[in-house]
Chain A
Amino acid sequence: MLREKAGETPATGAKAPEEPTEDRDAELERLRTRVKQLEKINAALIDRVERSTDLQGGAFSMFETAISLEAMVRDRTGALEIALERLNTVNAELAQAHADATAARVLLRDAIESLSDGFALFDDEDRMILCNRAFLKIFPYFEAISDRAPEFSELASRLARSGATVASRVAPERWLKDRVAQHRRAQGAHVQALSDGRWIQINELRTSQGGTVGIYTDITSVKAEDARQRARELAERNLALQATLDTLSEGVCLFDATGHLQAWNEGVLAMLGLEGEAGEGAPEIENHEMLRSWCLERQGLDRAEALDWREEGEARSLGQLETMCMMGERHVVIRSVPLKNGGMVFTFDDVTDHVRFQRSLTETAETLERRVEERTAELVEVNRQLVDAKNEAETANRSKTSFIASASHDLLQPLNAARLFVSAMDGMAMPERAASLVQQASTALDSVEELLEALFEISRLDAGAVQPEIQPLALDPILTALRIEFAPLAQAGGLDFAIPETDLWVRSDPRLLRRVLQNFVSNAIRYTEEGRVCVEVTHTKDEVSVRVRDTGPGIAEEDCAQIFEEFRRVGKTQKIPGKGLGLAIVRRVTAVLGHAIELETAPGQGACFTIRAPRCAPEARAPELPASAQGSRAEEGGLVLVVDNDPAILRGMEALLENWGLDVVAVPDPSDPAAVAALEQGPVLMIVDFHLDEGRTGDEAVAILRGQTEREIPAILITADRGDEVAELAAAQGLPVLNKPVKPARLRALLRQLDVL
């Protein structure tokens, strides 16, 4: 900007003379430049000078201002003088205020002096700076030193030393300590008893300056009034005490420490026969000794020690003493209580009626006890008889069960053999008549066998030999098995047959549950001539219901209960095969399982049997046992090794299997040479009886035989023992089991399953 300004400035009017020489031109040029420079310097200086008076100076003017600050300092000195002058004025005012304060203090002193209460002011160092006449009157000891601002602790220790207060006479050091601490706290009023009988109330408070002010009030007169008041209260309390004593039914008399009678009640006068003789007021007994002799001589007291005077020490350890005595005809309980002040209280309680009543009670109790004993003896006898009867019944039941079990076993063995023979004959070519007979014999055998099996099962259930293995299980495999088992039968009868699929799980025993459902379904199919048989599965949160519904003839209401009994068949059912034991077994099995069964039916309406089992959450399915019995596909007509110690069974089995086109080696014992020879030929299957000679079991025999070859030859166990033990043992080793008598159909099915046929 300045530069532009400088540029605009017109050139000076001075014109150089016309001289053609170059020197002059150069000189002219130099001068012109110089002039321009000077003009610019001039402009800058003018600008600077002008701006120097501006208030809004730049940084440089600030610098200049700073330098000239000294001038400001001078100004400030002036201000200082003014301030000093003001200070002086203030000082004067202060002096006036001081005078006023002094006057106020005098007024205050007069006011304090006129107080009737003692007044003492202590400064923040606890020195007494002010006190009035009344204060010195209360504590004359301080008169001599009140002028030299004594410390409170000095005043207090003076009091303590001279024993001016009651407490300081007893324990001067302690009183002094407490008093000083109290003064420090300065939290209100407390009372001091002076040795000369005066009572002083001291009210100490903290001042705003950290000192303490104390007001000392003589309250002796107030205290005296207090004492009178207390005496009045005591007298009233005595009246109350007497009234209380009079209301007691017991006789009470109270002696002071010297043994003089102090108080008594009506009761004691009546009881000791003192009434009337002395009229109102004091009885003629005045002290303890007179009471004692009165009781002993005039009232016939039998135990003198009841009225003994007891010393305080003994009394403290024993407390109240209670003595049962006779006074003439009367029973009296005398209690003696020593008092803290050395006196004693005696109470007399007439318990004659009470004692009499107690005696009659005791007698009643004894009579009752006697009668209870008699009845107890009777009951024991009856109980013993009952136990005997129960034992007898149990023995009878046991022998019946074991009889049936052994009879069944003995019956089943020969039946098994008979069956095998009949089956063998079944495959042979024979005349029609003979074939029909064989067929009927076979049917008859089936019938006997089924009947025996049912009886056997009932006996085992009754004997408690069946223990359910309750476990979480999927319902679907059981239903599937039912579907496969009964679909052909239903189809043969021309019935619609439906069993649904389900993913529900229940807690039950798989074998027993299946047994029940088999029974329901089989019954339904057998009794339904036309229509349908279906299984329905429903569930609630906790329970699964399986219903088997048919369109059969239904059951009359009066018959519903009977059908669950043994050999009970109702209605026109004689044509239908069956022995009437199925539902009897169902009843027992469901009882063992703890499942409920229900029946809904009416004649002509069909029937619906329901079993309800607890529902449970699905579990991961246990991996199926590898079927060790699974063998390689045998060639047509493979070799089967049969081991059984019963020659009849061996022969029957041999005949049956050969009929099915299999080669058979039958041996009574696994160590038989024929067995060894057979092993070398690579048998496709072993059928082994469980109970062999010399106590050897079938699974052991299988192990021995398998041990002789390197192959896991498939094997089947056969047993007449239907106990759980054998079944578990076989299952553990993965061996399939067939029960005797062996049903050919079942054996055949198993052989197919094992790929032998």
Chain B
Amino acid sequence: MQIQLEHGDTPLLTCSSRAADVASVVADLAAAVGTMELAGALLFCSNRFPRDELAKALREGLPGVPLIGCTSAGELTDRGYDTETVVLVGFPAESFSMVSLRFDALDHFDPQEAQGAIRQLVAGARLDHAAVQDVHQVALFFVDGLSHREELLTMTAQHALGDIQLIGGSSGDGLSFSQTGVLHEGRFHGDCAVIAVLTSRRPMHVFCESPYRPGPARMVITEADPQTRTVYEINAAPAAEEYVRLTGQAPETLDAHFFAAHPPMVRTGGQYHVRSIQSANPDGSLTFYCAIDTGVVLTIGEPIERIAWMNELIGKVSQRIGTIDHVIGFDCVLNRLDAEDRQIVRELSRLYVDNKIIGFNTYGEQFLAAHMNQTFSGLAIGR
């Protein structure tokens, strides 16, 4: 198969629906897609919709459009930060092609086998476009945000992808932490990951930045279970207590808002990275969104001025790719909570809308081989 990709200038199709019921939602999306030929589309939806019903309506309402995506903890739509909606990003067939692959039963994930499958997918995508000069390829990645397997998956995938860069997010369920779903081949699946290779002659650029810098305090994890990502003791003291003491605050409740404002960070490879806390447990332990281990030295992050930071980030991105068509954003749910607490949602939303940022709030972001927390990651696509 040879796919002729033109350097078309049809912009990406983006649409969202706030309708109450599934049928109306899908009708809205189908109306927006119309007769446009799509190589594939991403779909992010609030967890308020019954998944099977939504998947069925999508199969019937948008037949022939390969859809991938996941449930979210908030959406980035044409209104900026949004909730309770479904948002769709379509890739016009004239300038994109998309192939995808799913891994099920992540507890029995076999890295060797997975790498073979990914290499085949990539080789196929390469062959499809062998005749076309200067194509760009990126890999989009969606994984069950409650699987605790993101590190292994991300690393395995990026390894097999070679020089194709990976970007993606962990599915969310609006902070319920009960069940999330990843959309692939017309159905929502749990305990799975989907990887898609997107090919285009348009410029594409992936990025991952965190709006936090390390503070002065240092702490050591002295007791933890890496399997469940639970930290029992910090500095040989009960974890939650010691963490709060080091923030120097006295919160009424130890909740996501507090974690968002005071994210633990770890220094690796000369840089600090946020290791977010998902929840504080009754026994005084803390559960994280990402891999932890005993002996890891953490500091407590302090927020950077978000608006200026975001402007700077957008500036850097557009410098790389020229005019931005759209940015597919993977924005950590804690960033949104933090923005709400600081009352800058409105301002941020305007920035997102102006710069065509469409996406969802994640339970974690995947960038290249790493599973990140509390970052703003994305795929910027130019004209």
Contact = CB atoms under 8 A, between A and B. Distances in A.
A366 B309 CA distance: 137
Contacts of B226: 58-60
Interface of B: 151-152, 154-155, 158, 163, 220-223, 226, 229, 233, 235-237, 268-269, 271, 273, 290-297, 368-371
Contacts of A46: 295
Contact of A45 (B163, B220, B237): B220
Interface string A455-498: 00000000000000000000000000000000000000000000
Contact of A40 (B158, B236, B296): B236
B79 to A, nearest CB: 34
A562 interface: no
12 contacts: A40-B233, A41-B222, A44-B222, A48-B293, A49-B295, A59-B293, A63-B370, A64-B268, A66-B151, A66-B371, A67-B271, A69-B370
A36 interface: yes
Contacts of A76: 163
- 4 shortest A-B CB distances, which residue pairs? A48-B295, A59-B291, A66-B370, A66-B369
A37 B268 contact: no
A39 B220 CA distance: 12
B223 A70 contact: no
A188 B358 CA distance: 64
A59 B223 CA distance: 16
A158 B269 CA distance: 77
Contacts of B370: 63, 66-67, 69
A384 interface: no
- Interface bin, chain A: 20 to 34
Nearest to B222: A44
B287 to A, nearest CB: 14
A46 B297 CA distance: 12
Contacts of A68: 268-269
B291 A36 contact: no
A63 B371 contact: yes
Nearest to A6: B236
B293 A61 contact: yes
A44 B158 contact: no
Interface string A79-107: 00000000000000000000000000000
Contact of B237 (A6, A37, A43, A51): A37
Interface of A: 2-3, 6, 36-41, 43-49, 51, 58-70, 76
Contacts of A62: 151-152, 155, 291
Contact of A41 (B152, B235, B268): B235
Contacts of A47: 294-295
A472 to B, nearest CB: 69
A727 to B, nearest CB: 83
Contacts of A44: 220-223, 294-295
Contacts of B294: 2, 44, 47-48
Contact of A67 (B235, B273, B295): B273
B236 A66 contact: no
Contacts of A70: 269
Contacts of B297: 45
A121 to B, nearest CB: 27
Nearest to A67: B269
A63 B151 contact: yes
Which residue of B220, B221, B222 has the most chain A CB atoms within 10 A of its CB atom?
A: B222
Which residue of B151, B221, B371 has the most chain A CB atoms within 10 A of its CB atom?
A: B151
A296 to B, nearest CB: 91
Given A68-B269, A69-B158, A70-B269, A2 B151 contact: no
A38 B220 CA distance: 10
Contacts of A65: 155, 369
B154 A66 contact: yes
A69 to B, nearest CB: 5
B271 A58 contact: no
Contact of A48 (B273, B291, B296): B296
B144 to A, nearest CB: 16
B235 A66 contact: no
A60 B264 CA distance: 14
A41 to B, nearest CB: 5
Which residue of A46, A51, A64 has the most chain B CB atoms within 10 A of its CB atom?
A: A64
Nearest to A65: B155
B291 A58 contact: yes
Contact of B291 (A41, A43, A60): A60
A307 B151 CA distance: 116
B59 to A, nearest CB: 36
A67 B268 contact: yes
A65 B155 CA distance: 9
A39 B290 CA distance: 27
A6 to B, nearest CB: 7
